[in-house]
Structure 1
Amino acid sequence: NASADPEVINNCIYVLSDFKDNIDKYGSNYSKGNAVFNLMKGIDYYTNSVIYNTKGYDAKNTEFYNRIDPYMERLESLCTIGDKLNNDNAWLVNNALYYTGRMGKFREDPSISQRALERAMKEYPYLSYQYIEAANDLDLNFGGKNSSGNDIDFNKIKADAREKYLPKTYTFDDGKFVVKAGDKVTEEKIKRLYWASKEVKAQFMRVVQNDKALEEGNPDDILTVVIYNSPEEYKLNRIINGFSTDNGGIYIENIGTFFTYERTPEESIYTLEEL
């Protein structure tokens, strides 16, 4: 990192170009992919860490401002790869979108990076991961506006995504237990999950020797369980609900909600009910 000056960063374009030119071959190669990912991540980390030690926390006051355009051009080119996109290389596009949004401030004209994100929103299907990622990056880094100054209405995009990926709602116990699920999560599975939760609650009550809530008026008086169709769709939870997805599931106490996903035997030795 100590030697990551503009010249070094710009020389990284050859690595990105080689990977893009051979994406059909390299996309599923873990070692090559991991190297490219860590390259993008490392450059982003170092350049942004420099800002925190710079007057006014402004990218314009760093040595990188208007001096790493060759790298930015190559990074932005990875945001749209047309019909070459597949499950093996989607990670590359997703990260290119993310880092393009974060590093656009190092351009003299940030709207160039802004337009790269806009092109992604036009190229990829509405509410696909890449579409939502590009919209999120415009929201975080460009005030939720496109290069023409128009609002992209990111709140509507998130609402539409929740409706698409979590279309089912089930309520139990007079609304005290709510399940929101993907369209591929069966009703039978949801009922089994409900009864599994009842069993856990009963065991807890036996341990504490009390069948009433320890505290009244908490958000978890109503327990909500959110179940995505798959680990891939679960990754969207980071964007549309704002919670970490680097896990098998996460409980957010202050909203009384558990987020998780359906899984196959190949993906986990535990069933959803067991978890």
Structure 2
Amino acid sequence: MRCDITSVAVQSNRGYVAVQYGCNFLGRCHAHFPGNRKHDLEGWHEEYRSFYTEVCVMGKRLNTGYQLDVSNADDEKFLRRLLFNDNNGIAARGQSTLSHDNFGKYTKDEDFMKSLRLFVMEPSLESFKAFEQGWNKTAEKFGARKNRLLVNRVAAACTLEVSTTVDPAKFDQVFYWLSGQKIISLPPESEIPGWYAKNIFLMKTLKDVFGDELYAHKTDDFYLSQFVWMMYENVSNPFSLKKQIIKYGAPGTGNISASNLRHR
């Protein structure tokens, strides 16, 4: 881990991040979660990596001129997993659902599909904003809910710049807890507008902090993405994350079951 207990400054593509004692603290958190608990997380990790890879392959095909079309059986299966299924290996959809009828309408709407194809081809903050706008316009067109969580879940399938914590309120709970505990220092809000930008900032910070572990293959981008959710699970319970780290022990001493990880 590229830091010490006292203070370190990490260069981020979203600004200059001052990571104080937080590097050491994040290291201890990571050791207890994706580190010691990899056997619990492997199923989710493998599904996550598999579908992310599938989306990347589709992005490459789209860049060669392929037209993603719901009338094609394989494409329809891909689109269902990306947009519709309850759990797609990235995250569960929770209460943010797309009806079967609206799935059919959305995937046959050319403006919607254009914004989706562009985002899958070249995921970025700009293309995400265009896709989110395209989703919202389509929802208004058909009188449907805007499904912000599903929009974010698509993003998490397309890029490792964002985490699997696709519920904005849950992500913010971790994000601002880390800031409030002075584990990370945030740039002005104007520099991180919205869920996607905040994710870029936090994931870049985590990758900088755990650069040595990434290089040594002791962790990977997928586990670091899952790590954000693991922090949420602990921040959201009645005890503080610091206390939970101290109390964390062998199986049977309060570990979260692997099945619960999927309902994020």
TM-score with structure 1 length normalisation?
A: 0.27
Query: Which of the two has higher C-alpha Rg?
Result: 1
Q: Which has the higher strand share?
A: 1
